[in-house]
A and B are shown apart, each in its own frame.
Chain A
């Protein structure tokens, strides 16, 4: 490619020519062009929590990319075909990992909150919003 004006360009990871297309059986790439950005509200919530923590300088994007890549690798090792639909599950795992690694919270705090949320569900009539007040959740780790 032209070198003019692109002196600082990093090296590409691969190059090929258009004739080199292999016809081998390869996993197909899922095409879902019109899919919404988030498939469920929790995906958006997990996404936004990461942005907020980055904003608070809890971690850098480089750190995040590394933790996320580890979570993706881990899921693949456990049999996830990783075709894109489980992406925010990886994101959620990475978020839990980095929250713990950075000492934002402790494992027993997250476990206590999880138990509190399950209890809240059990005591909420079906169809009503399930709530756990800030006061209640804060008590768990004071």
Chain B
């Protein structure tokens, strides 16, 4: 028996148990051996299969996880937007060939192969969804937030984008046109929010601090200088 470390539960238990009907079975009464819930068994079985067949290398998987957990995120997209605000030629390039313009900053790779930039104007607000699953421009935004993957967002933003924007706290002039773009495995969109007023003469680095993830999905707007000062 090894009851000497009662707190030493494997970290995935608390999460997996919520989803796993079979985790209620038998040996809760006696912890003299270990327990893997249904999801852990499925994940480990796949890993064993793919390792044994030579498709994956566990170390390479850990490197991938670290990259997406810690290194790739919306700060990349913020740099793209800040450069577009700062450099009119880059803005034109970004609108004409977003994939190449974004790649010029070093943001390339998985699920960013075919990028399209959609720029907000005083008349038009763009908002992005993936109605079927969760296609999202990973190289510039990282992995999607959970609401982006939720069924309510995926359906409501198409049917009634204005109410979704209201829910996200975005208020637009009444006559603003809202355009909804459906991401697919082939095309990923990046919204270029409007440059906030009062930022004349700002550097790219300063401008990037105003660009939020949501502003690049279209469920938000760029921060104003006063909002950043308060933060």
Contact = CB atoms under 8 A, between A and B. Distances in A.
A116 B45 CA distance: 9
Contacts of A132: 44, 48
A28 B163 CA distance: 10
Interface string B162-175: 11111110011111
A139 B36 CA distance: 21
Contact of A117 (B36, B131, B168): B36
A54 to B, nearest CB: 7
A48 to B, nearest CB: 4
Interface residues of A, number: 94
Interface string A51-68: 111101010111011101
Contacts of B2: 125-128
A49 B5 contact: no
Contact of B150 (A53, A68, A82): A82
A138 B150 CA distance: 38
Interface in B115-133: 116, 118, 121, 123-126, 129, 131-133
B228 interface: no
Given A15-B180, A99-B49, A82 B95 contact: no
Contact of A126 (B12, B33, B173): B33
Interface string B133-149: 11100000011011111
B182 A16 contact: no
Contact of A1 (B43, B61, B124): B124
A99 B56 CA distance: 13
Contacts of B121: 1-2
Interface string A1-29: 11011100110111111111111101111
A84 B146 contact: yes
Interface in A30-75: 30-33, 35-42, 44-49, 51-54, 56, 58, 60-62, 64-66, 68-69, 72
Nearest to A10: B187
Nearest to A43: B15
Contacts of B19: 86, 89
B60 A118 contact: no
Contacts of B156: 26-27, 29
Given A5-B92, A53-B55, A62-B185, A45 B147 contact: no
Interface centre among A18, A27, A117, A130 (most CB of B within 10 A): A18
B46 A81 contact: no
Contact of B151 (A20, A23, A76, A120): A76
B229 interface: no
Interface centre among B96, B146, B173 (most CB of A within 10 A): B146
Interface in B33-47: 33-36, 39-47
Contacts of B149: 84, 87
B145 A35 contact: yes
B205 interface: no
Interface of A: 1-2, 4-6, 9-10, 12-24, 26-33, 35-42, 44-49, 51-54, 56, 58, 60-62, 64-66, 68-69, 72, 76, 81-87, 89, 92, 95-96, 99, 104-105, 109-110, 113-114, 116-118, 120-128, 130, 132, 134, 137-138, 141
Interface of B: 1-5, 8, 11-12, 15-16, 19, 31-36, 39-53, 55-57, 60-62, 64-65, 68-69, 92, 95-96, 110-111, 113, 116, 118, 121, 123-126, 129, 131-135, 142-143, 145-153, 156-168, 171-182, 184-187
